[in-house]
Structure 1
Amino acid sequence: MVRSGFIRLATGLACLLGLFAAPAQAQPDTEVDLALVIAVDISFSMDTDEQALQREGFAQAFRSKPVHDAIRGGMLGRIAVTYVEWAGSPDQKVIIPWTVLDNSESLMAFADRISSTPLRRAQRTSISSAIDFSVKLFDENGLNAARRVIDISGDGPNNQGRLVIEARDAAVAKGIIINGLPIMLRQPGYLDIPDLDIYYRDCVIGGQGAFTVPARERDQFIEAIKTKILLEVANLMPEQSLINRIQSPPRTNCMAGEMQWRDRWSN
């Protein structure tokens, strides 16, 4: 009897510890304040230092007290998040599946999973395919979310797959919001475009309250990511536009990346 009691106690402790080992994966019909796809660019244009900073920024965001407080302040006090890496049109990969975050332990565990995933890189840049892939993740997750948001970050324009505006408009038609984090840490080079923030504003983001938070300085990159996640979780808009221009430039050519790629191979 004593031995069986110890076995039951040990089993119970193991189950209890298991609850804190990793955040719970989302179950069908779970109600959440927000379902968020974090879609991060891993194309070869992103150097390994940029990738490491990007990953650390998202990890720090989910460790931060303001984000924890914002989640608790929601109507239900929980969100669901999935972390996706993308590059060209055939290359999208779920790194962390849909996970419910509703307490500090689940948030810290989610951040640790982001930090511990090995870096990888792949060819081309297909923002449109990343959006389409993210939309399918919403369709398949079975969650009941008050808001559905795609958080897409990248350092270049779409140059593969269907037109980015077609993917954006299809997502927005389903009530999905797309926010952007254009990465502008270096001078535009080969196959880059100037004013990537304007390209993201005109061609990538969409939906009610959509916004961008550009990352222009390496030492501000992590803070830009943390700010963006906090705004999305808290359902807030930046106090003022984070795209600062003396005059409004003409609208961007949303086929700029495709044209660059075509010109590369036609010369």
Structure 2
Amino acid sequence: MRLLFSIGAVLVAGMFAGGDVAGIAAPGPKFESPKNQPQRPAADRDAQTVDVELVLAVDVSYSMDMDELAIQREGYAQAIQSKEFLQALKLGPNGRIAVTYFEWAASSDQKIIIPWRLIDGPETADAVAAEILKTPIRRASRTSISGAITFAMPLFDEDPYRGLRRVVDISGDGPNNNGGPVTVARDAALEKGIVINGLPIMVKEPSYSTMDIDNLDFYYEDCVIGGPGAFVITIKDRGQFKEAIRTKLLMEVAGRTPERPVMRVADKEPRVSCLIGEKIWSDRWGR
């Protein structure tokens, strides 16, 4: 079941009421120790356990302008350093998370900006934020959400830490128009116990010169996200960028969903075609 809402529905302060972390997903096969491998001591296993393994997958396609890309980078860095984020971190059963950050465009274009890093307090949060900000901003062609999800899946196998939850966070301003169908990649991730959340960016009016579409939030809700407690936070104004990113990270770290009632979407025919991006590209450029 997927939980869907806009940023206006999120009450950050209410997320921390009650103290218990909710929405823990069942671990996938990687959590089973191979029989031919020696078991690590319990204390060592505990030291490697984190509350969530979080993959941040960030769109850098040409439809994102340089200002948006800069605000996006700053938004992630500031969110990780914020007192609200650090408070959410402390409330987890282990008080630490593992995070990696990569940028994506076409199906063959993904670049890891931050390899797996442990965040367990202000010092490690500051170090990760500094790494995010120091990398030069780049842009690239095409938009392959399916490629980003496919690239993200094996990253969990490379993570030296083991999380109670595994989450891929996809941000982007357009539908999939390159690589395999997004639903195939999404379903493969869900089979591995990975949760996918979305941050659709809708700050521009759709036009013929771009791949933007109406109702990108519906597209993300019905075609991209999935898994226990999966959610979408929509950005419809440039001024919402940093607030939306901070709220999204808070919820992912705390493993929470809004306390107020939210709309529940059952499995049904998507409101926006999950192949709309591929169709637009083919209609315009014939390939």
Match of residue 142, structure 2, among 124, 145, 164: 124
Q: Does 1:225 find its partner at 2:235?
A: no
Counterpart-to-counterpart distance in 1, 2:256 and 2:140:
33
Higher Cα Rg: structure 1 or 2? 1
Aligned partner of 2:146: which letter?
Answer: S
- How much has 1:140 moved relative to structure 2? 2.1
Q: Secondary structure at the match of 1:83?
A: strand
Summarize the alignment of residues 242-257 of structure 1 with structure 2, pairs less than 5 Å apart: 251-257=271-277
TM-score (norm 2): 0.79
Gapped runs of 5+ residues in structure 2?
1-44, 264-268
Do residues 89 (structure 1) and 89 (structure 2) align?
no
Please say if residues 184 and 214 of structure 1, whose CA atoms lie closer than 8 Å, have aligned partners that are also in contact: yes
Q: Deviations over 1:87-122 (max 9, x none)?
A: 000100111100000011000111111112110000
**Correspondence for 1:11:** none
Whether the aligned pair in 1 keeps the contact of 2:222 and 2:270 (CA below 8 Å) is no
CA apart distance, 1:223:
0.4
- Number of paired residues? 236
Divergent runs of 4+, >6 A: none
Match of 1:63 in 2: 81
1:49-94 deviation digits (Å, cap 9, x = unpaired): 1101111110110010111011111111110000100000010011
Distance in 2 (CA, whole Å) between partners of 1:206 and 1:220 is: 24
Q: Secondary structure at the match of 2:153?
A: helix
What secondary structure is seen at the aligned counterpart in 2 of 1:55?
Answer: helix
Q: How far apart, CA to CA, are the structure 1 residues paired with 2:262 and 2:234? A: 7
Q: CA deviation at 1:238?
A: 2.8
Q: 1:240, 1:93 → 2: CA distance?
A: 37
* SS of aligned partner of 1:81: strand
- State the shift of 1:254 in Å: 0.1
RMSD over aligned Cα, in angstroms? 2.0
Check if 1:72 corresponds to 2:90.
yes
- Cα distance 1:87–1:72, how it changes in 2: closer, same or farther (>3 A)? same
Aligned residue among 228, 233, 245 for 1:208:
228
What does residue range 87-236 of structure 1 map to in structure 2 within 5 Å?
87-190=105-208, 191-236=211-256
Q: Output the amino acid matched with 2:229.
A: G
Q: Provide the C-alpha distance between the structure 1 equivalents of 2:164 and 2:214, rounded to a whole number of angstroms.
A: 36
Shift of 1:142: 3.9
Once the two structures are superposed, residues 21-66 of structure 1 have per-residue CA deviations (whole angstroms, 9 ceiling, x without a partner) of: xxxxxx9x82111100000000000000110111111011001011
Of residues 38, 52, 57 in structure 1, which corresponds to 2:56? Answer: 38
Give the partner amino acid of 2:205. Answer: Q
**How far did residue 264 of structure 1 move?**
1.1
Aligned partners of 2:109 and 2:224: how far apart in 1? 19
* Unmatched 5+ stretches in structure 1: 1-26, 244-248
Query: What percentage of residue pairs aligned between the two structures are identical?
Result: 57
Per the alignment, residue 14 of structure 1 pairs with none
Give the Å deviation of 1:196.
0.4
Task: Specify the alignment match of 1:260 in structure 2.
Answer: 280
CA contact (8 A) 1:213 1:242 kept: no
Q: Distance in 2 between matches of 1:266 and 1:137?
A: 34
